[in-house]
Amino acid sequence: MAESMCMVCGQGWYPHEAKTNLMVAQAAQLAEIEILVWRAIWPEITVSDCQVCGNKLVFRACGTGADWILSCAGGHIVRQAEHKPGGAPGQWSWSTAADYKRAISGGLIVPGPDWQGVPAPWHDQTHLRTNQCGRCDAVKGAGNGMVRLTLPQVVRYCLDNNVPCTLVTDQGDATDVYVNAHPSMGHDFIITAAAAPVRTTPSVLNSLAGALRRCALSNDQWCLIRDIATRMWWRLPWDQVRSVYFPARVLVKPVAYHCAWDHPGD
């Protein structure tokens, strides 16, 4: 889907996260700055090779699974992250009752005040919705009222790859994005940091900008970085803009920066 362009500054209006994700992956594959991009998302990263097989790690944007994956040619996933900028809904993935049991026993989710209990196994298969289907979602093409059990995508990815799924967001924590925002959930369960540690959008921008101050990049590389910074900054809520420090604000295109401040309610 094409992005709408601002009639005032000519920049993308409400930039799509999928395109931003691809641009971040492009920057993360530049030899000059690759590990700096990795560390902006996962500050604890200290190596560039897989500790299992020794192959070089590669950062990529994915159409399936987590938005960003850091893995080697041998398929060992070292880090993964999901990007949820302002306004992006928290998606749920198909799951089973056994997945819920694994998530609980592994400390990935803990019961909340409105805990609905471990779902019965019959929720695993496509079925007609009942009043016990608070965690089930519609199955496309299966007919009206047909649903299946789901689980927040970040928990699903953690279970699949045995690696926490970092949540890059400005919408709070994983519970806020996936559970509290779900209309039928109430405060069903809490997604723990063991499943989805949070890295705020301002933190990513601040980390990247601080590291890049010591780098000599080409004009094209700087253009890519500025495009990324502008797109991520544009999706920030106004109350979080002040958390973006000066070096990171400098990366935001001036035309977009001034346009946003001149038209805050548009």
pLDDT (tens, 9 = 90+) of the chain, 266 residues, equals 678 777 777 777 789 999 999 999 999 999 989 999 999 999 999 888 888 887 899 999 998 899 999 999 888 999 999 999 999 999 999 999 999 999 999 999 999 999 999 999 999 999 999 999 999 999 988 878 899 999 999 999 999 999 999 999 999 999 999 999 887 788 999 999 999 999 999 999 999 999 998 888 999 999 999 999 999 999 998 889 889 999 999 999 988 877 776 655 54
Instruction: Say what the pTM is.
Output: 0.93
- Residue 167's closest CA among 229, 65, 83? 83
Q: Per 3-state DSSP, what percentage of the chain is helix, strand, and coil (rounded to 5)?
A: 35, 20, 45
Cβ distance 56 to 261 under 8 Å?
Answer: no
Task: Name the residue with tokens 């109430």.
Answer: 186
Q: Per residue in 208-241, is it b (16+ CB within 10 Å) or e — as a string?
A: bbebbeeeeeeeebeebbbbbbbbbbbbbeeeeb
Cβ distance 66 to 80 under 8 Å?
Answer: yes
Distance separating alpha carbons of residues 132 and 127, to the nearest angstrom? 12
Task: Name the residue with tokens 């019965």.
Answer: 120
Residues in the chain: 266
